[in-house]
């Protein structure tokens, strides 16, 4: 697997390469009251297309931004001018928040070379690099989706893992939410954690919008009791920061990392899901 991060310097050098596609995957929690698409139209990195996490999603469920069926994903990103053979560089305007989610989605759908821009839009802008405004329209392409089930876990797979212990389960939420000490930000959800989970709060993994060096990440996971030599599944509130955790685990040398797509929004919303506090 290719190195999943690229630097702003690398992107500046390769921005005009015909097989490089830049994707603005900015997304914010509802409480932020920010409109990422409106902000994209106002200013974005040169040539970037906008990926709407809540738009390119499974519309048959009330769970937020779940992976759509492969054919629907392929149609949507193909219309953006993206092929599975492109080098897809994903960034967001928080530095490192929602971009890993879309990196994971492309990876799960068979993209051969999906990357995340280290530091995202804030680092690019801080370096005084060029931006542009308005919608970017690329020539449509065919994206041949090839779903990788090894990167995705659903509810019943997660339930089985609580019994079989076949994967290490790691929660990206805050320690207070992991322990069930504070209400969940989404109303109606139970508090607590998936039984047998370990906790690595996602805010430990980055600084100033950039992922910490691999050596620091390894130390963080070791301190939390996460054995990176074993298969791992990550979860969070709705599958966004779980993807950042998956990215960090890969950077720390973990070889088999999946994401529980429904995450706590699904688990904590089910009456029959076992909960540990």
Burial 213-250 (b: 16+ CB within 10 A, else e): eeeebbebbeeeebebeeebbbbbbbbbbbbbbbbbbb
Name the β-bridge partners of 88: 21, 114
Q: Are residues 100 and 188 in the same domain?
A: no
Output the pLDDT for position 3.
Answer: 76
Using a 10 angstrom Cβ sphere, with 0-12 exposed, 13-18 middle and 19 or more buried, the burial of residue 6 is: buried
Are the C-beta atoms of residues 212 and 132 closer than 8 Å to each other?
A: no
Q: Nearest-CA neighbor of 171 among 242, 248, 73, 68?
A: 242
Q: Which residues are catalytic?
A: 236
Domain final position from 125, 147, 169:
147
* Residue linked to tokens 């298969």: 231
* 139 located within any domain: yes
The total of structural domains in the chain comes to: 2
Owning domain of residue 129: 5-147
Output the pLDDT for position 2.
Answer: 62
Q: Are residues 29 and 111 in the same domain?
A: yes
Output the pLDDT for position 46.
Answer: 98
Output the pLDDT for position 30.
Answer: 86
pLDDT per 10-residue tile (average), the chain, 277 residues:
86 97 96 95 98 98 97 98 98 98 98 98 98 98 98 98 98 98 95 98 96 97 98 98 98 96 98 97
Token pair in block for residue 209: 């919008």
Distance CA 145, CA 162 (A): 30
Give the CA-trace dihedral at 6, 87, 240, 270, to 10 degrees: -150
Q: Are residues 214 and 139 in the same domain?
A: no
Q: Are residues 205 and 139 in the same domain?
A: no
Report the half-sphere exposure of 229 (CA within 13 A, side-chain side).
0
3-class DSSP assignment, residue 3: coil
């Amino acid at each position: 697997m290719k190195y999943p991060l690229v630097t702003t310097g690398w992107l500046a050098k390769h921005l005009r390469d015909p097989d490089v596609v830049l994707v603005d995957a900015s997304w914010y929690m509802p409480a932020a009251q920010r409109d990422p698409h409106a902000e994209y139209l106002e200013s974005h990195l040169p040539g970037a297309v906008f990926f709407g996490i809540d738009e390119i999603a499974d519309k048959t469920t009330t769970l937020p931004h779940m992976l759509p069926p492969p054919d629907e994903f392929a149609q949507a990103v193909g219309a953006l001018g993206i092929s599975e053979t492109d080098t897809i560089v994903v960034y967001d305007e928080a530095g490192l928040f929602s971009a890993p989610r879309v990196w994971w989605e492309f990876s799960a759908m068979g993209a051969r070379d999906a990357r995340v821009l280290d530091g995202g839009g804030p680092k690019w802008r801080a370096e005084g690099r060029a931006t542009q405004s308005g919608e970017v329209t690329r020539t449509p392409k065919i994206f041949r989706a090839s779903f990788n089930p090894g990167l995705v876990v659903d509810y019943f797979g997660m339930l089985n893992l609580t019994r079989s212990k076949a994967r290490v389960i790691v929660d990206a939420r805050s320690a207070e939410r992991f322990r069930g000490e504070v209400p969940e930000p989404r109303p109606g959800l139970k508090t607590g954690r998936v039984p047998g989970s370990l906790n690595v709060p996602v805010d430990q993994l980055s600084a100033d919008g950039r992922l910490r060096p691999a050596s620091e990440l390894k130390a963080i996971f070791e301190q939390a009791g996460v054995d990176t030599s074993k298969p791992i599944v990550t979860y969070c509130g709705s599958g966004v920061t779980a993807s950042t955790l998956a990215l960090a685990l890969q950077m720390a040398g973990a070889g088999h990392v999946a994401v529980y797509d429904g995450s706590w929004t699904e688990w904590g919303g089910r009456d029959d899901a076992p909960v540990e506090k």
